[in-house]
Structure 1
């Protein structure tokens, strides 16, 4: 990536695309590059489907609108409105559907979903540098039986979203983000105001988070919270509570708020994963090496509450600084992207 700081801050969601053709080869190359830039423990399993021809977009449009046209609401809607919706989908040059594959445990399912959401974010950033705009679309209104059949839905899979893709003429104005300091808690010695030269100091973590918060978030919901833990907390509670190796202090817990609506839960989890991916890309650009993982203990409510986790919150990832040889791509091997071309 050419200039991560500039790209993360300047990328925008695009809803109006030009009619210019989007090259299939470019999409595939960007997907492989995005997958290669994802670093976390575990090997995620995900797949995607590409719709880039007029014929395939027509088929996708019919499946995406089946739930509306076949419902009582669809019968009440004026025909021109439905046609406008279809025209918007068919008029978008390219669509890529992303799916997290099924897994045997909750942790593995979350690893798959976190990976595909993070790769989608990197894909958006790489595309932006080449003049491609994207819209991350997850509205449940498209999830019809017809849509599931088209994408070859398998039991246990998790729909991450559709990226609508195209070249564009106008860049929308950006909206302000809330400074991460307002969602920041320190457990142990508070050094957030000290300009420490250590890469993973509170000062430097907050500096990068101020850029990372330019992640996609629907309706400007900012569902994240940050808990920065120093050695004091680890020594006081870590050895007693952790059933596996405790994180190396200091470390950062990235927390997501959990909405009661399942669709919003997924959207918020995806937004937090995108923020984490932004943070990792920014750190890489400065020569840091970040260990990202979803530990088993993060599913133990008692252990999570010892770090001040609130009701309806969950830990999305634990981030630590690490040595390049030990942590870079630790436990992760980027498989070839599973992409189906329509």
Structure 2
């Protein structure tokens, strides 16, 4: 895979040509996507496969149930329901992704970050196979009927539906993203030396971020900013990682939106950005360790990094360059698929 090219050129696809998508291909890509997510723990997530016409019709009924409660005019409402029902039923495959429940917020966020990252891997792998996808989370579908259909349990988080199919026409190019340099803060020195060879520089990190920011997110919102930390003044803030912390690290920060749906979408987009970054880093044999440590939920511990009250740190990335490169998967990929 030409990773950088695929990340930048991938598009959301809304119109499919009706060519069947083999179930075996979907399952194979899911396992590959899970194996590309590097983690120390065992993320808890699951997906539901809708590949038959009957199952897609049932999904369509559950998706349109909330829409029927709308106060739109009857004519407009009926047209929307008919359009959406036909669209869902005729799309070759739908995959519904869910982050399973957890004991606390940090673990819940880990599960959610993992499923969003795996969805991004799946989209990239699918694009290489000529598969187009649309990541769909619109609140208008998120009603009781839909949640009952997918079996959403208390404490679980709906990550989205991937609509999947082959396509004939490539959409036009997307708008440019704001360069990472404009969302970039440095604490410490720009260029930092870990050993006799300079392995991680601010410019090399920025170059990689400017490819990684082509992560999927609704309306091309860019809710992230980056804090690159290279000195030891804040060393104590990372003790909970329980590993060598004499390396530069990157904090990926999100604006905390008041709207719950926007917050979840922004979290998902940042998880995809981080996954893009990690894949790009691995292709250059950098060792990048991503984590969601406990301390980021403590506002007092976040203050030294300049985190505003309306912001939160989403993930922490330790950047070890290619010194002792090892980015092997620390936990075997687990794929929990329900076929409906």
TM-score (norm. length: structure 2): 0.93
How far, CA to CA, are the matches of 1:190 and 1:242 in structure 2? 20
CA contact (8 A) 2:215 2:269 kept: yes
CA contact (8 A) 2:131 2:167 kept: yes
Aligned residue for 1:238? 235
Aligned residue for 2:179? 179
Aligned residue for 1:248? 246
Aligned residue for 1:188? 188
Aligned residue for 1:120? 119
How far, CA to CA, are the matches of 1:145 and 1:325 in structure 2? 50
Q: Tell me, what secondary structure is at the counterpart of 2:335?
A: coil
Aligned residue for 2:3? 4
Query: Taking structure 1 as reference, are residues 252 and 219 closer, same or farther at Cα in structure 2, changes over 3 Å only?
Result: same
Aligned residue for 2:213? 213
Once the two structures are TM-superposed, the CA of residue 321 in structure 1 deviates from its matched residue by 2.6
Per-residue deviation, residues 64-106 of structure 1 (Å, max 9, x unmatched): 0011124443746353332112111112111000000000011
Structure 2 unaligned runs (5+)? none
Aligned residues: 333
Once the two structures are TM-superposed, the CA of residue 336 in structure 1 deviates from its matched residue by 2.7
**Which is further off, 93-102 or 250-259?**
250-259
Q: Tell me, what secondary structure is at the counterpart of 1:73?
A: coil
Aligned residue for 1:159? 158
Query: Taking structure 1 as reference, are residues 142 and 74 closer, same or farther at Cα in structure 2, changes over 3 Å only?
Result: farther
Query: Taking structure 1 as reference, are residues 212 and 136 closer, same or farther at Cα in structure 2, changes over 3 Å only?
Result: same
Per-residue deviation, residues 254-291 of structure 1 (Å, max 9, x unmatched): 11111100000000000000000000011111111211
How far, CA to CA, are the matches of 2:203 and 2:167 in structure 1? 37
CA contact (8 A) 1:291 1:327 kept: no
How far, CA to CA, are the matches of 1:290 and 1:94 in structure 2? 34
How far, CA to CA, are the matches of 1:295 and 1:247 in structure 2? 13
How far, CA to CA, are the matches of 2:2 and 2:199 in structure 1? 19
How far, CA to CA, are the matches of 1:63 and 1:197 in structure 2? 57
Query: Taking structure 1 as reference, are residues 327 and 164 closer, same or farther at Cα in structure 2, changes over 3 Å only?
Result: same
Q: Tell me, what secondary structure is at the counterpart of 1:81?
A: helix
Once the two structures are TM-superposed, the CA of residue 197 in structure 1 deviates from its matched residue by 6.7
Query: Taking structure 1 as reference, are residues 42 and 327 closer, same or farther at Cα in structure 2, changes over 3 Å only?
Result: farther
Residues 1-342 of structure 1 aligned to structure 2 (within 5 Å): 2-73=1-72, 75=74, 77-172=76-171, 173-191=173-191, 198-231=198-231, 234=232, 236-239=233-236, 241-242=237-238, 244=240, 245=242, 247-322=245-320, 328-329=327-328, 332-342=330-340
Query: Taking structure 1 as reference, are residues 310 and 78 closer, same or farther at Cα in structure 2, changes over 3 Å only?
Result: closer
How far, CA to CA, are the matches of 1:217 and 1:142 in structure 2? 18
Once the two structures are TM-superposed, the CA of residue 324 in structure 1 deviates from its matched residue by 8.1
TM-score (norm. length: structure 1): 0.92
Structure 1 unaligned runs (5+)? none
Q: Tell me, what secondary structure is at the counterpart of 1:228?
A: strand
